[in-house]
Amino acid sequence: MRESQHAVRPGSGPTERDYVEFWPAGTMAKGRFRCTACGNAIAVRTVLPRCMLCGERLWEREESSPYGEVT
């Protein structure tokens, strides 16, 4: 019997790097965040605002954002 191409092997599941935590506007936060819609970067020390460029309400930490490599 052949092994399925989609078989899950021990240790081959999702990693911490595959997980992205989203932060909604209004949440107490501290650090650098990027807008999930447009990639706008902000530094926050109190409460996450709505994105000033597009109005989006969801943010992700800059280090986990796919926009992090955009310059």
- pLDDT for residue 68 is more than 80: no
Decide if 51 is inside a domain.
Answer: yes
Range of the domain at 32: 19-69
pTM check: above 0.85: no
Decide if 33 is inside a domain.
Answer: yes
- pLDDT for residue 6 is more than 50: no
| Total number of domains in the chain | 1
Decide if 8 is inside a domain.
Answer: no
Decide if 34 is inside a domain.
Answer: yes
pLDDT at 18: 66
The answer to whether 25 and 52 are in contact (CB under 8 A) is no
The answer to whether 40 and 54 are in contact (CB under 8 A) is yes
Q: Rounded to 10 degrees, what is the CA torsion of 49, 28, 42, 35?
A: -60
